[in-house]
């Protein structure tokens, strides 16, 4: 096999690994952006954060939010907002750091954080 | 048999067959559960032969520090001989072995806890996500949505019992509380199991194998008033690999490097690093191969 073809196949293998690793990273982020309280579960996203911020601006102390099951869950707005906001930044900052590390990795073993011997 | 206290706990079933040491997998997972979920209430339902083998291979002290409640039951020998399936250790090795899964429907009766998470021993706990279940408004939850960690790979046969049938739920992880509804659900699973031929004719799943995924799906359909997807999902996605995949290594107590089989090139693999999210690893031999490493990572303080 010519060197050029070998290099092309190696690069294809790297791209497949990189794409899957990025999808795995997204899955991890998605999984961490979930928060359960008072018997309900919420996905932490910008909509939830904005709505909580609005409730705070409207000086609401308690509110009923619909969770991912569309069940009504009563929450204490300030503490809920603080918690979801802090989790959001914690998770997205980690996501950013890991994403940047992946983006700069140009070999399969670097994508996986292994040395060249695969250890 | 020691009796665990009530409250919240995990239950797993571990019956070895001629090749696969399910009890060892249960011990590994128990240490991971203690580490990531912070739960000591762990019940494992097993048989005397599996327990005896584990005591010889792992030692009683290791078992005791992993599991605080072991329930020994008699095996149904007829079922064991009849329920045979092909287990793969990647596409390169396939073996036909007994698949002893008859008593998962007894989880409700056997669980000493008010709130229980029923787990497959090969569903490795690598995060604290399942702690979101405790105290939930929903009294019974399990997943129908799943995600293969090799994102290119799609297997539509895993979505429904047959092409035009009901949605398939995964009995891999089930959360339930001790309520009349959950009790009726498990009674319904037992009823389906005891009348397998009738329900197979009605729901038309393929093959002769009894799978808990089928009986739990049918019970979910019945208990939802014959509506599809009537039982709510867990607040976490079920991530899985297949028995054609392999594990390269366990880096630490929440990170593994996996070999994933390429969809258009069977027997050929790509590597993926999986970290901090629970994972259903279908290749049991692969978990057993890394079990020593996983045990030492999980036991480390």
Each residue's pLDDT tens digit in chain B (301 positions)?
444 447 999 999 999 999 999 999 999 999 999 999 999 999 999 999 999 999 999 999 999 999 999 999 998 888 888 889 899 999 999 999 989 989 999 999 999 999 999 999 999 999 999 999 999 999 999 999 999 999 888 888 899 999 999 999 999 999 999 999 999 999 999 999 999 999 999 999 988 889 999 999 999 999 999 999 999 999 999 999 999 999 999 999 999 999 999 888 888 899 999 999 999 999 999 999 999 999 999 887 6
Q: Which pLDDT score is estimated for B301?
A: 63
* Residues forming a β-bridge with B116: B9, B176
List chain B residues with CB under 8 Å of A39: 135-137
In A, minimum Cα distance to B258 occurs at: A112
Q: Which pLDDT score is estimated for A6?
A: 79
pLDDT in tens, B134-179: 999 999 999 999 999 998 888 888 999 999 999 999 999 999 999 9
Domain B8-240 fold = Spore Coat Polysaccharide Biosynthesis Protein SpsA; Chain A (3.90.550)
Report the residue of A14, A20, A29 to disrupt the B interface, i.e. the one with the largest count of B CBs within 10 Å.
A20
Contact A24 B272 (CB under 8 A): yes
Contact B274 A112 (CB under 8 A): no
Q: Which pLDDT score is estimated for B1?
A: 43
List chain B residues with CB under 8 Å of A114: 257
* Residues forming a β-bridge with B19: none
3-state secondary structure A64-90: EEECCCCCEEEEEHHHHHHHHHHHHHH
Q: Which pLDDT score is estimated for A113?
A: 84
Q: Which pLDDT score is estimated for A118?
A: 64
Contact A27 B137 (CB under 8 A): no
Instruction: Give the residue numbers in A contacting B (CB under 8 Å), as ranges.
Output: 13, 16-17, 19-21, 23-24, 27-28, 30-32, 34-36, 39-41, 68-69, 71, 73, 108, 111-114, 118-119
What residues of chain A score a pLDDT lower than 70? 1, 116-119
User: pTM of the predicted model, to two decimals?
Assistant: 0.93
Structural contact between residues A99 and A83, judged by C-beta atoms closer than 8 angstroms: no
Size of interface A-B (CB pairs under 8 A): 72
Q: Which of A16, A31, A108 sits opposite B277 (nearest CB)?
A: A31
Q: Which pLDDT score is estimated for B207?
A: 87
Contact A41 B274 (CB under 8 A): no
Q: Which pLDDT score is estimated for B3?
A: 47
List chain B residues with CB under 8 Å of A13: 270
């Amino acid at each position: 096999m010519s060197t050029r073809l070998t290099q092309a196949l190696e690069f294809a293998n790297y791209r497949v690994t990189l794409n899957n690793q990025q999808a795995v990273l997204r899955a991890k982020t998605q999984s961490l952006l979930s928060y359960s309280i008072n018997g309900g579960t919420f996905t932490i996203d910008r909509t939830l954060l904005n709505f909580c911020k609005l409730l705070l601006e409207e000086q609401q102390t308690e509110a009923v939010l619909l969770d991912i099951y569309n069940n009504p869950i009563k929450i204490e707005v300030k503490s809920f907002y603080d918690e979801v906001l802090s989790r959001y930044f914690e998770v997205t900052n980690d996501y950013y750091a890991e994403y940047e590390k992946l983006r700069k990795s140009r070999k399969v073993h670097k994508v996986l954080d292994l040395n060249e011997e695969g250890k | 048999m020691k009796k665990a206290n009530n409250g919240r706990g995990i239950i797993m079933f571990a019956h070895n067959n001629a090749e696969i040491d399910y009890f060892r997998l249960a011990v590994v997972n128990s240490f991971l559960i203690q580490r990531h979920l912070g739960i000591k209430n762990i019940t494992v339902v097993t048989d005397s032969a599996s327990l005896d083998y584990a005591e010889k291979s792992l030692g009683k002290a290791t078992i005791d520090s992993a599991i605080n409640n072991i329930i020994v039951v008699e095996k149904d020998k007829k079922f064991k001989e009849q329920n045979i399936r092909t287990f793969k250790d990647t596409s390169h090795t396939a073996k036909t072995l007994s698949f002893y899964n008859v008593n998962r429907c007894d989880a409700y009766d056997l669980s000493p806890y008010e709130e229980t998470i029923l787990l497959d021993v090969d569903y490795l706990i690598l995060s604290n996500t399942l702690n979101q279940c405790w105290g939930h408004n929903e009294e019974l939850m399990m997943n129908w949505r799943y995600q293969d960690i090799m994102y290119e790979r799609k297997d539509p046969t895993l979505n429904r019992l047959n092409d035009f049938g009901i949605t398939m739920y995964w009995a891999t992880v089930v959360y339930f509380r001790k309520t009349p509804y959950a009790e009726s659900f498990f009674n319904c699973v037992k009823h389906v199991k005891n009348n397998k031929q009738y329900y197979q004719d009605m729901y038309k799943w393929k093959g002769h194998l009894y799978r808990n995924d089928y009986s739990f799906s049918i019970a979910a359909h019945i208990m939802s008033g014959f509506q599809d997807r009537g039982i709510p999902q867990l607040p976490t996605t079920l991530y899985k690999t297949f028995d054609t995949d392999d594990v390269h290594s366990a880096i630490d107590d929440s990170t593994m490097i996996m070999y994933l089989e390429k969809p258009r090139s069977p027997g050929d693999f790509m590597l993926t690093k999986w970290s901090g999210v629970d994972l259903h690893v279908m290749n049991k031999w692969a978990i057993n191969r890394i079990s020593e490493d996983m045990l030492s990572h999980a036991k480390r303080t």
